[in-house]
Amino acid sequence: MDIAGFTPVSAAIGGGLIGAAAVLLMALNGRIAGVSGIVAGVMAPLRGEGGADFSWRLAFVAGLVLAPLLASLVKGEIIAIATPHPLWMMALGGLLVGYGTRLGSGCTSGHGVCGVARLSTRSFAATATFMAAAIVTVFIVNRILGF
Amino acid sequence: MSVLSALLVGVLFGLGLTISEMINPAKIIAFLDVAGSWDPSLLVVMASALAVSFVGYRIVLARRAPLFGAAFQLPTKTTIDRPLIVGSALFGVGWGLAGLCPGPAISAAALGKGEIYVFLIALIAGMLLKDGLAPKRA
């Protein structure tokens, strides 16, 4: 276990904020905070659908983008992130995440947080499936292929 | 009002992702790499988010309606079907390949790294591949 990399305090605080945001979106807007569904909804007008929900969804997405900028301002430097896997894996990964979350009706936020919090059996099944698939994928990529 | 509330909630959600470092693909892959130097932080993020949302949902959903809307809109499907499992498995493979899921990818776009934009363009392409671009015929 990577004790140096384990950040339980910031993880607990950040997780609490994510949970609070999910609760607030339900309390205020009556909606599930599922990011894949919200993003797909932003693109729905391309098909001539979902006009009424376009504005709040776009506003939520804008808020997501704004947050790391605010955090960077407070910190006084751009938040550092790293992408350990090669670019082609980012592209293939994006394609699979996009297609898979639409086919499976949700992602880590909609199923993993909101659905599990509602004790939805579909979300339990989805979360177990994507967790297992992701762990096997990283095992193959990092431990067998040696990336 | 529902647009302003969505913006503020989006900021709060994004701050949660940023503070917990879930916008960092290296951090996600370190969690998924259980046979390597495993970093269990994501588990703490999930547990904390679930503790708050489990209690919060029970309080909120006991009310009649949301503050800025006519009714709570909750998923109605209950059957575990093939699209749910196949879709979630494909999502999981992509999550492991890139170390990104949709929320963190959008937040990370603010940080100006090219790899994130490649992921996001592919993500949108994948969504459109499933949902289609042209209006659906009834």
**pLDDT tens-digit map of B22-59:** 999 999 999 999 999 899 999 999 999 999 999 999 99
Q: Identify whether A50 is part of a domain.
A: yes
pLDDT digits (tens, 9 = 90+) for A24-40: 999 999 999 999 999 99
Size of interface A-B (CB pairs under 8 A): 511
Question: What whole-number percentage of chain B has pLDDT above 90?
Answer: 93
* Closest among B105, B72, B137, B77 to A29, alpha carbons compared: B72
Residue B129 CA, chain-centre distance (Å), reads 19
Determine the residue among B8, B18, B129 to mutate to test chain A binding: the one whose Cβ has the most chain A Cβ atoms within 10 Å.
B18
Taking the CA of residue B62 and the nearest CA in chain A, the distance in Å comes to: 10
Q: Identify whether A63 is part of a domain.
A: yes
- Coil, helix or strand at residue B19: helix
Q: Identify whether A1 is part of a domain.
A: no
Residues in Cβ contact with B134 at an 8 Å cutoff, skipping those fewer than 6 apart: A47
Contacts of B84 in chain A (CB under 8 A): 104-105, 122, 125-126, 129
Q: Identify whether A17 is part of a domain.
A: yes
Residues in Cβ contact with B125 at an 8 Å cutoff, skipping those fewer than 6 apart: A94, A95, A98
Confidence of residue A3 (pLDDT cuts 50, 70, 90): low
Contacts of A45-50 spanning 24+ positions with Cβ under 8 A: A46/B128, A46/B133, A47/B131, A47/B132, A47/B133, A47/B134, A47/B135, A47/B136, A48/B135, A49/B135, A49/B136
Q: How many domains does chain A have?
A: 1
What sign for the dihedral angle of Cα A120, A124, A127, A133? negative
* Residue A97 lies in domain: 8-144
Kindly tell me if the per-residue pLDDT of A12 is higher than 60: yes
Contacts of B127 in chain A (CB under 8 A): 36, 39-40, 43, 98-99, 101-102
Determine the residue among A87, A96, A120, A127 to mutate to test chain B binding: the one whose Cβ has the most chain B Cβ atoms within 10 Å.
A96
Q: Identify whether A3 is part of a domain.
A: no
Q: Does the model's pTM come out above 0.80?
A: yes
Q: Identify whether A2 is part of a domain.
A: no
Q: Identify whether A105 is part of a domain.
A: yes
| Overall average pLDDT of the A8-36 stretch | 98
Distance (Å, rounded) from C-alpha A103 to C-alpha A85? 25
Determine the residue among A1, A3, A10, A23 to mutate to test chain B binding: the one whose Cβ has the most chain B Cβ atoms within 10 Å.
A23
